[in-house]
A and B are shown apart, each in its own frame.
Chain A
Amino acid sequence: MSYLQCIVNISFIACLCLFNVAGAMADDVPGNVPEWKAAYVPEGDVWKYTEQHLTFNNGTDPETLDPHMMTGLPEMRLAEALFEGLVTYDPSDLTPRPGVAESWDVSDDGLIYTFHLRKDAKWSDGKEVTALDFLFSWKRGLDPVNRYINLFFPIAGAKGYSEGKLTDFNEVGIHVKDPQTLEVVLHAPCPYFLDLVAFPTYYPVRVELIEKFNEKWTRQENIIGNGPFVLKEWSPREQILFEKNPYYWDRDFVKLELVTVLPISDLNTAYKLFQDDKLHWMPALPVARIEELKRNPDYYVYPMLGTYFYRFNVTKPPFDDVRVRKAFCLATDRVEICNELLKGGEQPSNHFCPPVAGYEPVEGLKHDIVAARKLLAAAGYGKDKMAFPKLEVIYNTSEGHKMIAEAISQQWKQNLGIDMGTRNMEWKVYLDNQNNLDYTISRSSWIGDYADPFTFFSIFRTDDGNNRTGWSCREYDELLDTVSVTLDRKERNRLFNELEKLLVEQECPVLPIYDYVNKGLIKESVLGWEANIRDVHPLKYIWRE
């Protein structure tokens, strides 16, 4: 990917020189544009005559604009415009790129990160962004009302401080060396730490503002950010308007002048607006019309860092028997589910963690009815043997989940002769049942928090709150401990493969179904928008032509 990117960039620059427009470009963007960024500098000046106004549908009103309180993608999409962390994501491959930090050094043991902040980083009221702002913000982020507090835990002392075991914040590994230097000490090496630093929970906020206005600090009249855009208007459930931030350090690079964010939850309505050119980007589609939408030239689909799977409750018979779990995995035809049912480009999956950051998942258990029947018979079920109890798959109420559950249940009936019922539940009831292990098989999904397989595998540690299967495996837990202190990429991936083998080939507390994809519509006139596995599309890079 990055190699290809490189070639594209080089040929792009070559083109610029050939057509002698390099001079014009130099006028537009003063200073040196790093190579990775050059792809986001518009060619020629057609874009200057186009209204730099983007309208996109966010699907819902944000629950909050406070980076320490947010949990969902719609909120993070907005926060990313209003705030900027030390490090930002590269729009195409999510590599950590300079944000407020101009550069950073990592000690050889991977424990000390020294961030060098740029001098021209400013808040939207003109005040300088300093290392102290980050210290105060992260201190606030360690208040346990922050649901993403655990993303701070790689920092030495952070966990203890949040739990009240450590009372002196000076002992937490966040040190201000001078206004432009922030040193962060980790308690153990964390190869994806920079990825975390780019996450909204690490954004700086103006703490004195929050003390003054409490939860009202995010209102348009109060909020001060340091991102490429400022909040011009927030009319709940009507629209949100962003305007270019005149104090942003990289303001000359930002092309969009105005961004309208719509909260339309009825996707058919959004599609009508898209057809009317009133909407330029919609990241969610009315799935019932997927066949029609796929023919639209503005349609896009690409892999996403998420997986759709079923959990087995391994604490109760019959799924306490690994042979039964395996039999069910082998008897499930994911290809049919993806190609005949979903038809949206979802990738059938026999693994748990989608390919990410150079990680290649294991083969897993392929569709094999004969093997499935054998295992089931070995477990004592079948003709002239024990009858399989009448059980149910639970899912939270949704047309899509219902479709999949019924199709899979039909496959089991055909392949194993087992009649599994399906039952929908209201979201909160379903969560309650899953949490209390009050189910047999439960629909599930997991979206990665950062671009590292650890975000997937760590949830099946014994007694992890997200395990929710009752499964416990000592070998697995020990492997997790080893991988969390392993820095070498190759060795890490090998260990992750071991973990995945245990999870989907040997022990099977889960039944993988497919890898999620991002599907949406985007107008051809929108440039600088890149596909990536996190569905992160920084507005800073986008322009219209």
Chain B
Amino acid sequence: MFRYLLRRLVFVPIILLILITITFFLVRMAPGGPFSSDRELPPGVEEALTKRYNLDGSVVSQYGRYLVRLVQGDLGPSLKQKDFSVNEIISNHLPPSILLGITALLISLCAGVAAGLVSALKSNSLLDYSTMALAVIGISLPVFVFGPLLQTLFSRVFHILPVSGYRGISLHLILPAVTLGLPFAARFARLTRAGMLDILSEDFITTARSKGLTERTIVLRHALKGALLPVVSFLGPAIASITTGSLVVEKIFNIPGLGREFVESALNRDYFMIMGTVILYGTLIIICNLAVDIVYGFLDPRVGNEN
């Protein structure tokens, strides 16, 4: 297991370097630049800005200079949010995203797995159908509809939760977390249900049943671990994406998270900000996938045996 982990870790910087290189050159190929606007810049201004932001010289030489600074931990300046560096923007906006993401993940995991289990155990009942119908709605209902709906209901009609804003761990977190978590909860429910139904038809469950074990023991001791495998493998990318924020949820609830930066940096051609978000997201995905593989080893004895 340890050697396997080490081997995977060695590849991390290589994967990241490939990612950085592709992104760096790809964003430069996009039409328009960071300084173009509907108002022509006075003569000389574009050159001055280019120089100030280290965007002069060939793209290859810029790439070289970027890597040198990157190794020193400097992600460069933001070309749009002119008073902040990319490092500062990420450290300002990542914590709210992580807090919101983890809350959303916990909510969706509890709700999703519970709903999935119930509908698997009562499969083909009315309960099963209605839960799964809800799950389909959860997946297909756009966040920009669900969010304002919750806002209207809980803050404008019942006046129990705040409309928007971010105050750390507080009531402000509930509506955005539920909004962000809904599609994930729905996915978790469907994955749990499918996994559980699969496992319940396995031979070893039939054996357990014939031994006269209670249904409760069968489900919790024998079936659940295996049934959650698909959930766990989905969890890796889910964590990476949910903790890096969501543009729509952040806009609706005015949360100072990182999701906005992903989208807007690309639209603004904010070159260094794009690189920063891509590097962050890439690293997170790699780490999460690695963690999932480790957890897999504990849940599924077959994976551990190979190594």
Q: Is A398 an interface residue (CB 8 A)?
A: no
Contact call B77/A215, Cβ cutoff below 8 A:
yes
Q: By DSSP majority rule, is chain A's interface helix, strand, loop, or mixed?
A: loop
Contact call B252/A147, Cβ cutoff below 8 A:
no
Smallest CB–CB gap between B93 and chain A, Å? 7
Smallest CB–CB gap between A292 and chain B, Å? 14
Q: Across the two chains, which residue of chain B brings its CB closest to A449?
A: B39
A435-B251 contact in complex given A215-B77, A276-B155, A427-B267, C-beta closer than 8 Å? no
Residues of A within 8 A of B256 (CB): 235-238
Q: Across the two chains, which residue of chain B brings its CB closest to A265?
A: B251
Residues of B within 8 A of A145 (CB): 45, 48-49, 52
Contact call B40/A465, Cβ cutoff below 8 A:
yes
Bound Cα distance A266, B253 (Å): 8
Contact call A64/B83, Cβ cutoff below 8 A:
yes
Q: By DSSP majority rule, is chain B's interface helix, strand, loop, or mixed?
A: loop
Contact call A149/B82, Cβ cutoff below 8 A:
no
Residues of B within 8 A of A218 (CB): 83
| Chain B 54-95 interface mask (CB, 8 Å, partner A; 1/0) | 000000000000000000000001001111100001001100
Within 8 A of A (CB), among B132-159: 148, 151-152, 155-156
Which residue from A144, A265, A268, A269 sits with its C-beta under 8 Å from B45? Answer: A144
Contact call A268/B148, Cβ cutoff below 8 A:
yes
Within 8 A of B (CB), among A413-432: 426-429, 431-432
A147-B155 contact in complex given A215-B82, A266-B254, A278-B163, C-beta closer than 8 Å? no
Q: Is B33 an interface residue (CB 8 A)?
A: yes
Q: Is A349 an interface residue (CB 8 A)?
A: no
| Chain A 47-68 interface mask (CB, 8 Å, partner B; 1/0) | 0000000000000010111100
Contact call B40/A464, Cβ cutoff below 8 A:
yes
Q: Is B38 an interface residue (CB 8 A)?
A: yes
Within 8 A of A (CB), among B263-282: 267-269
Contact call A465/B41, Cβ cutoff below 8 A:
yes
Q: Is B234 an interface residue (CB 8 A)?
A: no
Q: Is B13 an interface residue (CB 8 A)?
A: no
Q: Is A73 an interface residue (CB 8 A)?
A: no
Bound Cα distance A143, B42 (Å): 12
Q: Is A362 an interface residue (CB 8 A)?
A: no
- Most chain B Cβ neighbours within 10 Å, of A216, A265, A266: A266
Q: Is A339 an interface residue (CB 8 A)?
A: no
| Chain B 95-117 interface mask (CB, 8 Å, partner A; 1/0) | 00000000000000000000000
Smallest CB–CB gap between B174 and chain A, Å? 15
Bound Cα distance A342, B148 (Å): 24
Contact call A269/B33, Cβ cutoff below 8 A:
no
Q: Chain B interface: which size bin?
A: 35 or more
Q: Chain A interface: which size bin?
A: 35 or more
Smallest CB–CB gap between A160 and chain B, Å? 12
Which residue from A216, A268, A429 sits with its C-beta under 8 Å from B31? Answer: A429
Q: Across the two chains, which residue of chain A brings its CB closest to B42?
A: A150
Q: Is B37 an interface residue (CB 8 A)?
A: yes
Bound Cα distance A493, B164 (Å): 49
Contact call A428/B39, Cβ cutoff below 8 A:
no
Contact call A432/B93, Cβ cutoff below 8 A:
no
Bound Cα distance A218, B88 (Å): 14
Bound Cα distance A143, B92 (Å): 30
Within 8 A of A (CB), among B183-226: none
Residues of A within 8 A of B83 (CB): 64-66, 215-216, 218-219
Which residue from A272, A278, A433, A435 sits with its C-beta under 8 Å from B151? Answer: A272
Contact call B163/A144, Cβ cutoff below 8 A:
no
Contact call A445/B38, Cβ cutoff below 8 A:
yes
Contact call A466/B39, Cβ cutoff below 8 A:
yes
Residues of A within 8 A of B267 (CB): 426-428
A149-B254 contact in complex given A236-B93, A278-B163, A428-B30, C-beta closer than 8 Å? no
Smallest CB–CB gap between B217 and chain A, Å? 49
| Chain A 211-224 interface mask (CB, 8 Å, partner B; 1/0) | 00001101100000
A163-B260 contact in complex given A269-B151, A428-B267, C-beta closer than 8 Å? no
Contact call B45/A149, Cβ cutoff below 8 A:
yes
Smallest CB–CB gap between B101 and chain A, Å? 16
Contact call B156/A272, Cβ cutoff below 8 A:
yes
Residues of A within 8 A of B251 (CB): 265-266, 269
Smallest CB–CB gap between B208 and chain A, Å? 52
Contact call B31/A428, Cβ cutoff below 8 A:
yes
Q: Is A275 an interface residue (CB 8 A)?
A: yes
Given contacts A145-B49, A427-B267, 15 further A-B contacts (CB under 8 A): A63-B82, A145-B48, A147-B42, A149-B42, A163-B43, A215-B77, A215-B82, A236-B81, A238-B165, A269-B252, A278-B163, A428-B31, A428-B33, A431-B32, A466-B40
Residues of chain A having any CB pair with chain B under 8 Å: 61, 63-66, 69, 71, 143-147, 149-150, 162-163, 215-216, 218-219, 235-238, 262-266, 268-269, 272-273, 275-276, 278, 426-429, 431-433, 435, 444-445, 464-466
Sampled A-B contacts (30; CB under 8 Å): A63-B82, A64-B81, A64-B82, A65-B83, A69-B82, A144-B42, A144-B49, A145-B49, A149-B42, A149-B44, A150-B42, A215-B82, A215-B83, A236-B81, A236-B84, A238-B256, A262-B254, A266-B164, A268-B148, A272-B163, A272-B164, A276-B163, A427-B32, A427-B267, A428-B33, A428-B267, A432-B31, A444-B38, A465-B40, A465-B41
Top 3 nearest A-B pairs by Cβ distance?
Answer: A465-B40, A428-B32, A237-B256
